[in-house]
Structure 1
Amino acid sequence: MTPPRRRPLNHIALTSLLAAALLSVPASASDRDHDRAREAVKAGQVMPLRTVLEHLEREHPGKVLDVELEEEHGRLVYEVKLLQSDGRLVKLELDAKTATVLRRKER
């Protein structure tokens, strides 16, 4: 039996929300994706992106390049790509409900 495929959720919405939060620019995501992300936060399925980013800034400083919310093996996961000050690209997978780092990859 093959493992379930990872399905991106709200990639456009999360990227737009991140830009809006950091740049105070109105989000331009589709209403459907935006609503799905908002409902997941309201239902307690995911931690608000702003909270996750504040936590990351303390624990894993760097410039956020990309954020995705995906479902992986029945769990919602934030995937965050960071560019650190020394030029390393770091990809973190975080439990979307707790912001616990599940996996870290560097290049």
Structure 2
Amino acid sequence: MNLRSTLALALILTCGLAAAPGLARDLDQDEALRLRREGVIMPFEQLMQHVGQAYPGSTLLEAELEEEDGILVYEVEILTLQGVVRELELDARNGNILKDEEDD
């Protein structure tokens, strides 16, 4: 492969990676506890108050703490009183709902 082909391939790969969505990294319980103790993230119970305001009476099905593009996010699945499963993403620093969609 000549230099021109190599540079063209590198440019294509770079553009493809730049267009791809960022990868998420799951954080374990120990890391979540450390971040909470350091005051980097809010207590999960406080974050869930935001969910309770948006969906009163909902049931928590699953929760994961992830780092997405440098932002700590809780990915939460809930079951609403209407029987709908929703997936929400909450900013772990302040509880703001970043994403709210019906889960399929």
- Tell me what 2:62 maps to: 66
Task: State the superposition RMSD in angstroms.
Answer: 1.4
Which structure has the bigger radius of gyration? 2
**Which of these residues, 27, 33, 37, is aligned with residue 32 of structure 2?**
37
How many residues are aligned here?
Answer: 84
Q: How does 1:8-19 map to 2 (within 5 A)?
A: 8-10=26-28
Q: What is the SS of the residue equivalent to 1:38?
A: helix
- List alignment gaps of at least 5 residues for structure 1: 11-32
- Tell me what 2:45 maps to: 50
Q: What is the SS of the residue equivalent to 1:97?
A: coil
The TM-score normalised by the length of structure 2 is 0.72
- Tell me what 2:86 maps to: 90
The TM-score normalised by the length of structure 1 is 0.71
- List alignment gaps of at least 5 residues for structure 2: 1-13
Give the Å deviation of 1:57: 1.3
